Structures are given as C-alpha cells and as structure tokens.
Amino acid sequence: MQTFIKKADTAILEAAALIKRGELVVFPTETVYGLGANAFDGQAVAKIFKAKGRPQDNPLIVHISEIDEIKNIAVDIPDGFYKLAERFMPGPLTVILKKSDKIPCEVTAGGDTVGVRMPDNKYARELISKSFPLAAPSANRSKHISPTTAEHVYEDLAGEIPLILDGGECSVGIESTVLDLTCDIPTILRPGAITAEMLLGIVGEVSENGRVIKIAKAPGMKYTHYAPVVDTVSAKNIDSAVAEYDKAAAQGKNPVIVARDIYRDKVSEREQISLGITAEDYTRNIYKALHDAEKKYGYIIIEELHGEGLEQSVMNRVTKAAGGKSV
C-alpha cells in the first residue's frame, strides 16, 4: 500500500471518506499523532492492531469532537465526567468510563470500560465531525517512540496505511493523561499534561501511584476556620454539655455553655450564652455568640444540632470551631 502525507487543511474530506470506508487515517492531535479508525466498526479497528503490531490486549482511546457524542460511547456517566469535560475538553485528558454496547470489543480489548478524549486540534475534530468518533492509539509502531510530526509517522508506518494528515508539530508532545473514573476514587493510570493538582480542583480527590491526594473544594476549607481563640468543644446533647461544664469548672477553666434557650432549665445557674430557639436563630447567632464567649470565658461548650439541611450547614461551622472535638 502506498502511503501519502497530505496537508491536513486540504485533505479532511478525503480522510473522512477513507474512515467511512473502514480504512485507517493518521491525524494530528495536540499530544501526539493518532492512528484512527471508525470506533463503531470492529473490522476497521482490527486493522490498527495489525498496522502497529500492537498486542490485542491493549485497549484504544475513542476520540470525539463534541461532548454529546459520549452518549454513544459510554454508559452510567458520572457527573464528574461532565465537570472534567467542561474544564479540560478539548485537551490532553482521557477519561475511562463504562463502555456502551455500540463500542465493539476490538476497541476495548474485550474489557467493559472505554477511554474517551476530545483532542485540542481543529483538524482532528473536523475529521471526527465529518466521519465518526475515532478509535486511535499513538501512530507509531508498537513499542516505538510516539510521533509528534507526520514524518515520524511515515518512518514507522509507511506502507501500512493510506493517508497521513500533516498538521505540523504537536503542541503538547506527550500522550494524554489517562484518568479512570470507574474506580471509587478517580485514578491516574497515565500521567500527562493535565496533572493531579489540576484534576483535584474539579474532582476533589485523585489516586496516583497508589497514593490518594485530596484537597478541599473551596480554598481554605481544609483549615480550622472560624475557630475561637479559646478552647472550644461541641456537646452531643445538653446533658453532656452540663457534665463537661462542671468538669471544666472544677478544673478552673472558666467555661460557658452556648446553647438554645430551650435548655435554660438544665443549664440553670451556670454561665451561658443563648442561641435563641430555632435552627434559624441558632445559625444567625452562632458567630456572635462565639465572639462574645471568647472575650469573657476560658472554655466554650457548644450545643450540637443533629438535623438536616440548615442544621447540618451550621454544624459544619461548629465542628470547625471546635476543631472536631465533641463530648
């Protein structure tokens, strides 16, 4: 077979016609050149393995031109995918998802997951949009260096493929980051230009090399914020608040109970600051109560709430104020 190198901007239609006929086409991406076939055509995809001398057990990435195409490629797509897509697609990120029945086993090497990526290269996306999503590995002979120019591809694969679209040098130059979203914790299977730190901003935690990296979703969330300058604990109920108070008082700690008015009887003559009655009162009053308490007392004991919604939100702040200490 004769192999032609053609300028990408003039040969997209010819390339799309080849793909529709079940042939292979090499196309540029921002990472490395890819060796593409119609991802829905198992026989076409099988040619990729033959041309590259690629082991049959190594799955291929499916390249898309629009996020919407994901519906034909993957199923049970988690929200995280769409968040990542919004930030990093098009770009050098491949995401592993559960495969759809429309994707033949040749693409996934028999597995039930599929890698998906949207390349940040206009020729690649134009070719895809004029033909099909493309299953494609790097366009090198198996085990050889990945190609970042059309010439690299020609040196490796001349005679095996009909057409190489020349789109110039690849701008990123290494293969995409591969992120598995089918695990409990998103896992980096192959590092790339999209780093764990960059992913963390979107997915909250990432596993890489067996190590789990986490960050809080909002800056500063990981620190003990809202903490009073004096020792503070939360109390599971008013009885444990009272018991803690008496213990602290006996130790000379100058304690105060911060609680709702409904417990005034139980708190009795002990030092106290009122949070009002309802969850809304509690929420509105909590910071002021803590400000007041830290000026006058040596030890703050805050009544916990155990309901949903607003009560949970305000408990998030109380837990931080208490540094997680609960009695």
Q: 21 has which bridge partners? A: none
By beta-carbon proximity to Mg ion, the closer residue of 53 and 110 is 53
- Binding mask 89-108 vs ligand TXA (x if CB under 6 A, - otherwise)? ---x-x-x-----------x
Out of 32, 150, 235, 286, the only residue in the binding site for ligand TXA (CB under 6 A) is 32
Nearest to 299 by CA among 243, 252, 239: 252
> Minimum Å distance from CB 47 to Mg ion?
16
Closest by CA position to 297, among listed 263, 320, 271, 324: 271
DSSP letter for each residue of 246-298: HHHHHTT--EEEEE-GGGHHHHTTS-EEE--SSHHHHHHHHHHHHHHHHHH-S
**Smallest separation (angstroms) from ligand TXA to the CB of 188:** 11
Tokens at residue 262, please? 């409904």
Residue 138 found at the interface with Mg ion (CB under 5 A): yes
Contacts of 81 (CB under 8 A, 6+ apart): 70, 74, 95, 97, 181
Residue from 10, 58, 254, 316 touching ligand TXA (CB under 6 A): that is: 58
Which CB sits closer to ligand TXA, 194 or 241? 194
CB atoms within 10 A of CB 219: 9
Q: How far is the CB of 137 from Mg ion (least distance, A)?
A: 5
Q: What angle do CA 221, 93, 216 make, to 5 degrees?
A: 5
Q: Contact between 38 and ligand TXA (CB under 6 A)?
A: no
> In the bound complex, what is the minimum distance in angstroms from residue 66's beta carbon to ligand TXA?
16
Considering the rule CB under 6 A, would residue 59 count as an interface residue with ligand TXA?
yes
Which among 141, 131, 123, 126 has a CA at the least distance from the CA of 28? 123
Site for ligand TXA in 158-187 (CB under 6 A): 175-176, 178
Please report, as ranges, the residues that interact with ligand TXA according to CB under 6 A. Answer: 29, 31-32, 34, 58-61, 92, 94, 96, 108, 111, 113-115, 117, 119, 136-138, 175-176, 178, 189-190
Please report, as ranges, the residues that interact with Mg ion according to CB under 5 A. Answer: 138
